[in-house]
Amino acid sequence: MTAGRPPLTPGTRGNIFRKRLPDGRWRARTRFCGPDGVVRLVQRDSPPGQKDSYGRRAVEALESALAQFSDGGGSGRMTGRTTVAEAVEAHLDTEVRGVLALRTIDTYESVFRVLKPHLGKLRLGEFTARGATRILAAIAAERGPGTARHAKTLLTGAFRLAVDEGAVVRSVIRDVEIRKKTTAKKVSRALSAAELVDLLRQLQASTAPLPPMTGARKDHTTRTVAEFVGSVDLYDPILLAAATGLRRSELLGLLWTDYTRERGELTVTGHVIRAGKTATAPSRLLREAGSKTELSARTVALPEFAREMLDRRRTQIRVISDGVPPVIFPSAAGQLRDPDTFAAQWRRIRGAIGYEWVTLHTFRKSTATVLDASGLTTREVADVLGHSSIAMTQSAYFGRGRTHTSAAEALDQVVGEHLR
């Protein structure tokens, strides 16, 4: 038994057949599969009053009509013949660049550089869910599932734009799913109040040898952990992180104008990011006004031990370079402090003081744990941390974005008293 005729894919046609009409003109016809996947019979006749040898002009009229159908009927800048890469570029221009946060823009620009070679010259009318799935699976294997999810977000935006402009009838990305590996989720761990106090004390007094930098030629150093902590200004920002639960980018973006001593409050007005990378220029540190979410722009009541640290720090002379905003925690050179360098400094010494498992984000979790153990509600803890969502009932029925002095009192009681 012979195989049947292969089905047409969207944007393709079958063979063109010509027939001479009784009036001497010609008729050309073919089967055409539109962007919606429906196969239709399309035909065109020779233009009236024009000489047509063997139906050539009828075929030209038919091919012209098919070209319009292939374009998806769109009247916008996109058509069915627009490449997927061009559609993603259009999505970046209209919905990402100059619209989203700089760090987010950098992320999507980087992901697009990974995605673009996989797209090749594929057109919107040719792109299928199966093809998209293969591309995203290849990116996940090459760069990880996070990059694949961002790539899918770019494709989703591109096809949403294509649908709006009539280039395609339906977004094929709606049928694409990135399969997740079923691995056991790591148990989140936080510092107890006693561990937090011990860690802060060791930062100031540890005589343990300072571990060498990763990749350093020397396998030993002459300084102690406490000496290193003092030289790179590590204790104060970690103390404030434990007192407030701020993200590291928020912590390093704090300005002196954000601190109100009379009320004992700290307002989050921005954060430090590394962004702005282009084909000709490297990324740079920037203090971006605003915050991660609406509720991240918050005012936090400070425990007394954090206020004492800030008051002491304010009296110390720290040089800030021209053009750099008056941040509370500048770099040693008087510039904005790099969040990644800050994290690397902590990683270097944490094992030497017995806290190898603690990351900078652990301090944020630990703040939440201490506040929860002290009797604060989930809503109050979420307000301190700047989370935009908690349980549905609490989100819907309780006010958010308040300043909770009870949080500062709880931290001062379980942490501050042991540091004095």
Per-residue pLDDT of 336-360, as tens digits, reads: 999 999 999 999 999 999 999 999 8
pLDDT at 254: 94
Domains annotated for the chain, with CATH where assigned, are 17-70 (no CATH), 84-175 (1.10.150.130), 193-419 (1.10.443.10)
> 128-140 burial string, b = 16+ CB within 10 Å, else e?
eeebbbebbeebb
Task: Please answer whether residues 269 and 258 qualify as being in contact, where contact means their C-beta atoms are separated by less than 8 angstroms.
Answer: yes
Give the per-residue pLDDT at 256: 94
Long-range pairs for 106-113: beta carbons < 8 A, 24 or more residues apart: 106/275, 106/276, 106/277, 106/283, 107/150, 108/150, 108/153, 108/154, 109/277, 110/277, 111/147, 111/150, 111/151, 111/154, 112/88, 112/154
pLDDT at position 381 is 60
Average pLDDT over residues 255-268: 91
- 388-420 residue pLDDT tens: 555 422 332 233 344 556 666 666 666 765 566
Answer yes or no: pTM beyond 0.85.
no
Q: Which residue has the higher pLDDT, 261 or 367?
A: 261
Q: Which of 128-142, 161-175, 258-272 has the lowest mean pLDDT?
A: 161-175
Phi, psi of 357 (to 5 degrees): -80, -10
pLDDT in tens, 93-110: 999 988 887 888 889 999
Q: Residue 260 — φ and ψ, nearest 5°?
A: -115, 100
Q: Which two tokens stand for residue 45?
A: 């006749």
280 against 50, higher pLDDT: 50
Closest CA to 107 of 152, 150, 156, 155: 150
- Which tens digit of pLDDT belongs to each residue from 157-213? 999 998 888 788 788 898 888 877 656 556 667 888 888 889 999 999 999 999 988
Residue of 334 and 125 predicted with greater confidence: 334
Mean pLDDT across 231-257: 92
> Residue 110's closest CA among 145, 83, 157, 143?
143
pLDDT on residue 282: 81
Question: How high is the pLDDT of residue 349?
Answer: 95
The whole-number pLDDT of residue 396 equals 29
Whether 279 shows a pLDDT value over 70: the answer reads no
More confident residue, 298 or 308: 308
Of 119-133, 166-180, 255-269, 345-359, the range with the lowest mean pLDDT is 166-180
- In the chain, the percentage of residues whose pLDDT exceeds 90 is 37
- pLDDT score of 355: 93
- Where residue 335 falls among pLDDT bands split at 50, 70, 90? very high
pLDDT of residue 391: 42
Task: Using the predicted structure, report yes or no on whether residue 1 has a pLDDT greater than 70.
Answer: no
Q: Which residue has the higher pLDDT, 41 or 237?
A: 237
Round the average pLDDT of the chain to a whole number and report it: 82
Across 9-13, 52-56, 173-177, 362-366, least confident range: 9-13
**Structure tokens given for 419:** 């540091």
Separation of CA 137 from chain center:
19
In this prediction, residue 362 carries a pLDDT of 87
φ and ψ of 369, to 5 deg: -65, -45
Supply the pLDDT for residue 291: 59
Which one has a higher pLDDT value, 390 or 247? 247
pLDDT digits (tens, 9 = 90+) for 33-47: 876 677 888 888 888
Rounded distance, CA 336 to CA 285, Å?
A: 7
Query: Average of pLDDT values for 129-148?
Result: 92
